[in-house]
Amino acid sequence: MPRALVTGSAGFIGFHMSQRLLNDGWQVFGLDCLSDYYDVELKKARHRILSNSGEFRAVIGALQDKDVVAAIFADGAFDAVFHLAAQAGVRHSIDAPATYVASNLVGTFNLLEAMRAAPPAHALMASTSSVYGANAKMPYRETDRAVSQMSFYAATKVATEAMAHSYAHLYDVPVTMFRFFTVYGPWGRPDMAYFKFTKAILEGQPIDVYNQGRMRRDFTYVGDLVEALVRLIPCAPVRPGRPEDVAPGDSLSTVAPYRVVNIGNEQPVELLHFIETIEAALGQKAEMRLGEMQPGDVVATWADTGLLKSLTGYAPSTPLDRGIGEFIDWYRSYITKRRPQNPENFRG
C-alpha cells in the first residue's frame, strides 16, 4: 500500500486531498497544528471524517517543531508528500507577518530537511498564483518571471519555491511546486470571499466588494485541483542531462529535478459575475458595499494550464455555477445547521 504525507490535512485543500488518497487506496499520514486562524471546530470536523478510514493517521503538531516532523519520517520515506500546510491570506500577512515566517518559511525548511534525509518518490508542494504579483502579461505561464510580489504572503511562498529548488538541486529531492488559482468548494475556508459573501447574503448583511468590483479571478473548483494533483503523482521531475533537453514551455529546472505547474480553470471570471452566480444559487440578492482596492491585492489572475495538460492530459473544467452550487449545498447543510455531513454528498 502506498504511503503519503499530507501537511495541513485538516485544512480545506488538505482535507480533500487526504480524502481522495484514502479513497484511492493510500495510507495517509495527516499533519496539522489546528491553528486558530479560523474556526478550529471546522478543522476538527474534517479530521473526524478522515479518521473514519482505518488508513488515516492524524498527527497533531506544527511543522515548526522539527522533532514532530522528524518523528513522522522515522519509518522511512513516503511515496508522495503533499505540502499544503501554510499560513494563508493576503491581507492577514499585513497584520501578522511573523506567523508567515514561522509557518511558511521555518515549517517548510523543517519538511525539506526531513525529505533530505528520506527523499520521497515525489514531493508536491503548494505555492500560489499570488507569486505572479504585478505581472501584467496574461495568462500567467510558469516560465514567466515572478519577482514583483504584492504581499508578504506571496513573498513567503516564492521563497519556499526557491528553498525547494535548492534542495532538489543539492539532494535530488524531486519536487513539483504547484501554483493554484483561487480554489473554492465545499468545506472551504471562512476567510475566503465566496464564503463571506454567502454568509452575509443569507444573514441580510452587505458584502464588501473591493476595487468597485473591477476584478477578475481564475476560480478553480477544489475537486479539479485534487484531480490534477493525483495525475501529477507519477510525473516526478527528473534532472535533465543538458539544459537543451528541457522542452520549450516546460518549467523544468535545467539543474534540478524541479518543476513549477499552474493549476487553474484558465477562465478568469469577473467578480460581479461571481457574485451573481452566488446570488442565483442562494435565490437571494446581495447588497453590495463598493470599496477601493485593498493593499496587497491584484486586479486579475489567469492561469495558462498548457504544461499541466501536456504532463497529465487533464485540465480543470468544472463550470462555476456547478461548483458554487456544490458549495452552497454544503453551506446550507453544515454551516447553517451546524452539523457535519458525509462528504461523499459533495463532489471534491
* Catalytic residue ranges: 153
The DSSP bridge partners found for residue 129 are none
| Alpha-carbon radius of gyration of the chain | 19
Distance of CA 330 to the CA centre of its chain: 20
Cell matching residue 43: 478543522
CA dihedral 190, 135, 226, 343 (to 10 degrees): 20
Give the cell for residue 159.
Answer: 521563497
Using left for φ > 0, alpha for ψ between -120 and 50, and beta otherwise, residue 18 falls in alpha
Cell of 150: 504584492
Is there a contact between 34 and 42 (Cβ–Cβ < 8 Å)?
no
Ranges of H-type helices in 134-192: 152-171
Q: Is-contact 24 230, C-beta < 8 A?
A: yes
Phi, psi of 343 (to 5 degrees): -65, -10
Distance CA 107, CA 100 (A): 10
Contacts with 47 (C-beta within 8 Å, 6 or more apart), sequence order: 9, 10, 15, 30, 32, 58
DSSP H or E run through 225: helix 222-232
DSSP classification of residue 259: E
Beta bridge partners of 289: 208
